[in-house]
Amino acid sequence: MDPLERQIVWDRLVAVVEEQAQTLVRTAFSTPVREAGDLSAGVFDLEGRMLAQAMTGTPGHVNAMAVSVGHFLDRHPPETLVPGDVLVTNDPWLGTGHLNDFTVVTPTFRADRLVALFASTSHIADVGGRGFGPDARQVYEEGLRVPIRHLFRAGQIDETLMTMIKANVRDPVVAEGDLYSLAACNDVGGTRLLELMDETGLPDLGGPGGVSDQIVNRSRRAMLSEIRELPAGRYENAMRIDGYESELDLICSVVIDDDGITIDWEGTSPGSSRGINVPLTYTRAYSSFGVRCVIGSSIPNNAGSLSAIRVSAPEGCILNAPPPCAVAARHAIGQMLPDVVLGALEPALERAGRGPFPVPAEGASCLWNPVIMGGPGLGGTGMGGADERPTVSEPFVVNPFHTGGTGARPGKDGLSATAFPSGVRSTPIEITETVAPLVFWRKEYRTDSGGAGRYRGGLGQVMEIAHRHDKAFSVSKMFDRVGNPARGRSGGSPGQSGRVALDDGTEMRGMGREVVPAGKRLILETPGGGGLGDPSERDPAAVERDVRDGLVSEAVARCEYGWGREEE
């Protein structure tokens, strides 16, 4: 193809996978997908190479799925697939890192000839077991594990598999609906690809020198060209985080050379006895995303550009947990990795002349997404009798997504109550109150939570949650940055730590399941992002505006920024 034809095909491919993702959003049953966009979608060639990804989706899903399709083809080679086949798994080590994520792969045929594969992943709120949380000791406790197998065979649903899934989850309607939505979005992607091929006369995507080779090879060359503009060498960084039983150290080295970037997590803390371990596939996903944020960010994210980044971690450490380690809350650790990688890349970018603040400060990073559940055994002491007021809630489970603040950005303040690096949207409280018997009595920015700096860190938020009928309920917490706040960079101050408590002042842990007693309210104070640069260099007008808007108190403005001293 000439350059114009190639660009047209590429733009259409991006449109195809974005429509694939939007179909998933519009048809999904669970709120994490429908409201927060916790998903991924992409098109792959017959070698399992990701050619294009949807803009809607998370790096953890997309970059892990980029590898997982190869596992599907290992078990079901292309020549064994027929029209109407749909494959599925939620195996953490073959998919995207924990059982709650189901990945579905669908072959696309043109005149009985296989031409491409479409894959999608979404987060299903409940897969049985202990429920989504960090308390399990092994993966067997975390829910139903489905090996790579057929969901549909030649167009016929596997009723035995679907019946088994529905019998093992707390919300079977949502689980079944989400699996159908995954299959539906892949089908839409396949249909749109065939329309593209008919309109452009494209016979297929593969073959030597074909579209897939051009996309992959050009993307890899472009990524390597960007990397080679940086000074070669070894760069290091470390971060201490809360963990579950004890604090953890995330230690990485980044080696830049003409062949790409190598990230090694040697020295990182060993694995946990709880469900915060991270399979290597998820470690690779978020480590590579840290690089892509500041190097080659305009280059398509696909098998070619990702191949220029190599990631390793010693087996048995918290970032390369083998089965049967518990991994349900792997995001609480994995989403910290981009901040560590960015810190390691900072001196290389500075030496390359990328400015005095080439990377953002650390942010809240991991989501604050409580799993709130009710029903017998999940809070309360009795179902209620003739003379007793029932304290046990009706059965429900909901997994709303909420966030802290991002670190201050190069040349800009951090974003408040915004997810980075996952990129998911916060779940509207109106939606949560609709699907669960909960009331959010308060949801507001957390004043002074953003770290001071020339550029201020993003603010966290305060939420106050209660049962609508004052019943007891359980909350499964997977929160970090409670003991170790996000650090500032280049003289910026750290953000405020997070906090979990009851409205009577009782402090709660950042990790693990606990009961909110009947009549009590759960208070979540999410962490703020770190500041960037010397606070004394902040524009006085920006400080004035922060004070006026209630983002920074007068006391902190005077102490950190010297606000009002000239008047005095």
pLDDT at 378: 77
Backbone angles phi, psi at 310, to 5 degrees: -115, 135
β pairing state of 309-312 and 260-264: parallel
Indicate the SS3 state at residue 128: coil
In whole angstroms, give the CA distance from residue 517 to residue 392. 10
Nearest CA to 510 out of 287, 386, 333 is that of 333
Residues 405, 495 contacting (CB under 8 angstroms): yes
Residues 26, 41 contacting (CB under 8 angstroms): no
Residue 339, burial from CB neighbour count under 10 angstroms (0-12, 13-18, 19+): buried
**Strand order from edge to edge, sheet including 499-502:** 438-445, 461-467, 522-525, 499-502
Whether the pLDDT of residue 71 is over 50: the answer is: yes
pLDDT tens digits along 285-307: 999 999 999 999 999 999 999 99
Chain CA centroid to CA 220, Å: 24
In whole angstroms, give the CA distance from residue 40 to residue 302. 13
pLDDT at 464: 98
In whole angstroms, give the CA distance from residue 138 to residue 507. 28
pLDDT tens digits along 348-402: 999 999 988 999 999 999 999 999 999 888 775 554 444 445 577 788 989 999 9
Q: Which two tokens stand for residue 177?
A: 């609906």
Whether the pLDDT of residue 568 is over 50: the answer is: no
Indicate the SS3 state at residue 262: strand
Cα first-last separation, the chain: 70
Chain CA centroid to CA 31, Å: 15
pLDDT at 532: 98
pLDDT at 385: 43
**Which DSSP symbol is given to 487?**
P
pTM (two decimals): 0.94
Residues 67, 283 contacting (CB under 8 angstroms): no
In whole angstroms, give the CA distance from residue 141 to residue 134. 11
Residue 119, burial from CB neighbour count under 10 angstroms (0-12, 13-18, 19+): buried
- Which residue is associated with the tokens 């940055």? 481
Residues 488, 373 contacting (CB under 8 angstroms): no
Number of CB atoms found within 10 A of residue 418's CB? 19
DSSP-assigned states of every residue in 69-108: HHHHHHHS-GGG--TT-EEEE--TTTTTSSTTEEEEEEEE
pLDDT at 394: 86
Least trusted range by pLDDT, from 122-126, 158-162, 408-412: 122-126
pLDDT at 388: 47
- Which residue is associated with the tokens 């108190």? 553
Q: What Cα–Cα distance (Å) separates residue 516 from each residue in 402, 441, 470, 503?
A: 19, 15, 10, 10
Peptide bond into 324 cis (omega under 30): yes
pLDDT tens digits along 542-567: 999 999 999 999 999 999 999 876 55
The residue among 240 and 57 whose pLDDT is bigger is 240
Mean pLDDT of the chain: 94
pLDDT at 389: 54
Q: What is the mean predicted confidence (pLDDT) over 178-201?
A: 96
Indicate the SS3 state at residue 102: strand
Would the CA dihedral through 131, 137, 143, 148 be positive or negative? positive
Residue 284 pairs in a beta bridge with: none
Residue 255, burial from CB neighbour count under 10 angstroms (0-12, 13-18, 19+): middle
Q: What is the mean predicted confidence (pLDDT) over 164-172?
A: 94
**Which DSSP symbol is given to 420?**
-
DSSP-assigned states of every residue in 351-418: HTT--S--SPPP---S-B--EEEESTTSS-S----TT----BPPSEEE---B--PPPPBTTBPPPTT-
In whole angstroms, give the CA distance from residue 430 to residue 403. 17
pLDDT at 544: 96
Q: Which two tokens stand for residue 396?
A: 């429900």
- For residue 352, give the H/E element and its range: none
β pairing state of 156-157 and 233-241: unpaired
- For residue 308, give the H/E element and its range: none
Helix locations, 278-394, DSSP H:
280-294, 303-306, 330-334, 337-351
For the chain, the residue count is 568
Q: What Cα–Cα distance (Å) separates residue 413 from each residue in 81, 132, 176?
A: 51, 33, 42
Q: Residues of 451-461 as b/e, b for ≥16 C-beta within 10 angstroms?
A: bbbbbbbbbbb
DSSP-assigned states of every residue in 143-178: -----SEEEEETTEE-HHHHHHHHHTSS-HHHHHHH
Q: What Cα–Cα distance (Å) separates residue 96 from each residue in 75, 100, 330?
A: 17, 9, 10
Q: Which two tokens stand for residue 438?
A: 């909960």
Q: Which two tokens stand for residue 24?
A: 């998933």
Residues 517, 475 contacting (CB under 8 angstroms): no
Number of CB atoms found within 10 A of residue 394's CB? 13
- How large a percentage of the chain has pLDDT more than 90? 89
pLDDT at 541: 96
- For residue 239, give the H/E element and its range: strand 233-241
Backbone angles phi, psi at 317, to 5 degrees: -80, 170
